Amino acid sequence: MVGDEAGRFVGYTSDIKRFADYKVVIVPSAFFDEDVYGTSQSEPVLPLNSIEGVPFLFGKPEIERAGDTLVVHADLVASAFFLLSRYEEVLHRNIRDLYGRFPGKESLPFRAGFIDRPVVDEYGKLIRKWLKSNGVKTVEHLPFIRKIYLTHDVDAPFYNRAWRNVVRKFFSGHNPLIAIRDKFRPLLWDPNFTFPWLFQQNKQLQSAVGEDRCISFLFFKAGGKTKSDKPRYNLKGKDIKALFELCREQGVSVGLHSSFQAGLEPSLIASELKKLEDAYSMAIKHNRHHFLSSREPEDMEYLEKAGITDDFTMGYADVAGFRLGTSQPVRFINPVTKRLSSLTLHPLVIMDGTLEEKKYMNLTAEEAEDYCMKLIQNIRNVNGDLTLLWHNTSVVYGRGYLRDLYSKLIKQIVVSSQ
Ligand SMILES: [Zn+2]
């Protein structure tokens, strides 16, 4: 949480004899006690307490001095662990939505009113402040976004290219000759093929902040037989080959979009990964689940086993914000075994449909822009990363406000980064 060598001045102990070894001590609550961990007794009680304006889950909002040491009774360590490990999803296996996902609106950060704040990063900031007030040199940063990931899931790359759409148009009264003509027109004429426009937007930000700080990603599906995996596309067909080529030309990274079925049966991730690697002729290390439908926290183990090093799934579909309580990349912690894995999770902060869809946040264009800017500002304040997910289908010309919002957000981040 402290993020630099000043961390060695912070202790996590209730042993009074050891307080003098540190400049700041966090006193553990009962959360990790054997007879508490994993039981309903470990549930935080609402309303939560705050310390210096930052909500925390366990302990008391008290700070005292013991000699040269600041002793903090707010258990920021257990609070961070609870949020980072998705502990509550294990405690509440019975709460899942239609797609088997833990709903954001049931989450503690949402219910306690801080889903829009990366509070774990704020804990780090508080601890650094306490260390500084106690004479320890800490690195200070101005508001700054460390890395920006502009990501796009390739769910439905084309509209006119598949024969089933030609047939559908025929039965809905369209001129069949036009439907057939549209199928064979150049790819750039396909209404869903908005990737060149998206990449153009991304380039504006990349030229402003540098390609090492702003990375553009396309996540491709490579399997899945459920209804939610439709439409399927041929990774070896000429249209996807053309899209792969565009990615190479434009310096866009390619990742796996694990299928909805692989969300249900995570053992399928490995074969989907292999299929995409074969088609793209390159090792793939990054993943995001289709429908964000990685279900149980432990399922992340399958990603690691398959050779994925970085996952971008961790956001809620129904509410934008900080699912893991942080805007920083963090390593996956299995809440059942408490094992810290080698898999890095990049929190997904904003998905396009979350803002607009009636069943999710149902925001107007103006409300969505204000909310996004608030999230972005909160990331700047803690020097975190920003991951956006915008689908090619939501920026189809004339379809809602998401196209306009995307270019507005890009422009605003360009301005605020200068
Ligand atoms: Zn998807």
The answer to whether 3 and 124 have CB atoms below 8 angstroms apart is yes
Q: How far is the CA of 128 from the centre of ligand 1 (A)?
A: 39
Digit-coded pLDDT (tens) for 307-358: 999 999 999 999 999 999 999 999 999 999 999 999 999 999 999 999 999 9
Task: Choose among 353, 366, 351: nearest CA to 408.
Answer: 366
Q: Check pLDDT > 70 for residue 120.
A: yes
What is the SS3 string spanning 61-122? EEEEEECCEEEEEECHHHHHHHHHCCHHHHHCCCCCCCCCCCCHHHCHHHHCCCCCCCHHHH
Please give the model's pTM, rounded to 2 decimal places: 0.95
- Mean pLDDT along residues 189-213: 95
Q: How many alpha carbons lie under 13 Å from residue 131 in its C-beta half-sphere?
A: 24
Distance of CA 30 to the CA centre of its chain: 30
Which pLDDT score, from 0 to 100, does residue 130 have?
96
Residue 368 parent element (H or E): helix 365-381
What does pLDDT average to over the chain?
95
- Mean pLDDT along residues 81-90: 98
Q: What are the φ and ψ backbone dihedral angles of 223, each rounded to 5 degrees? A: 160, -165
- Mean pLDDT along residues 21-34: 98
Which pLDDT score, from 0 to 100, does residue 173 have?
80
First and final C-alpha spacing in the chain: 27
Q: How far is the CA of 258 from the centre of ligand 1 (A)?
A: 8
- Mean pLDDT along residues 2-26: 91
Q: How far is the CA of 110 from the centre of ligand 1 (A)?
A: 24
pLDDT band at 267 (very low <50, low <70, confident <90, very high): very high
In the chain, % helix, strand, coil (3-state, to 5) comes to 40, 15, 40
Which pLDDT score, from 0 to 100, does residue 121 have?
97
Classified as helix, coil or strand, 345 is strand
**What is the edge-to-edge ordering of all strands in the sheet holding 310-311?**
330-333, 340-345, 310-311, 286-289, 253-258, 214-220, 148-154, 386-389, 350-351
Q: How far is the CA of 270 from the centre of ligand 1 (A)?
A: 18
Measured CA to CA in angstroms, residue 98 lies from 146, 221, 258 at distances of: 35, 21, 18
What is the SS3 string spanning 219-243? EECCCCCCHHHCCCCCCCCHHHHHH
Enter the DSSP assignment of 6: G
Task: Choose among 297, 302, 276, 304: nearest CA to 218.
Answer: 276
Query: Using CA atoms in the order 101, 410, 254, 102, what is the torsion angle rounded to 10 degrees?
Result: -10
Q: What are 154's strand-pairing partners? A: 220
Q: How far is the CA of 281 from the centre of ligand 1 (A)?
A: 22
Tokens of 86: 């998705």
Alpha-carbon distance of 360 to 107, in angstroms, equals 14
Which pLDDT score, from 0 to 100, does residue 416 have?
84
Q: How far is the CA of 354 from the centre of ligand 1 (A)?
A: 13
Q: Check pLDDT > 70 for residue 239.
A: yes
Which pLDDT score, from 0 to 100, does residue 331 have?
97
Digit-coded pLDDT (tens) for 159-191: 876 767 767 777 888 887 777 766 667 788 789
Q: Check pLDDT > 90 for residue 1.
A: no
